[in-house]
Amino acid sequence: MKTKDINEAKDPALRGSLAALVRASQQARQTAIQTGTDLIIAKDGQLVRISPEELRREAETKDDATS
């Protein structure tokens, strides 16, 4: 079975859903940093806890890479 790229979907809402998920992820990370709470994500079928300190380091590394 061949899967299509979501960006090729006929439905405009579906095409925009990936960008919306990325924005939601970024906002969740920022909220966790601001509130000092861990972020829980599913990675490879396992729940993973990411501390606010680790999120800050990741954000700083990303900022350095884009500047």
Give the domain ranges of the chain: 6-66
Give CA–CA dist 55/25, Å, rounded.
Answer: 12
The model's confidence at residue 24, banded by pLDDT at 50, 70 and 90, is: very high
How confident is the model over 9-17, as a mean pLDDT?
89
Q: What 8-state DSSP symbol labels residue 12?
A: H
Sign (positive/negative) of CA torsion 20, 22, 25, 30? negative
- The reported pTM is 0.76
In the predicted structure, residue 1 carries a pLDDT above the cut 80: no
Beta bridge partners of 47: 42
d(CA 28, CA 51): 13
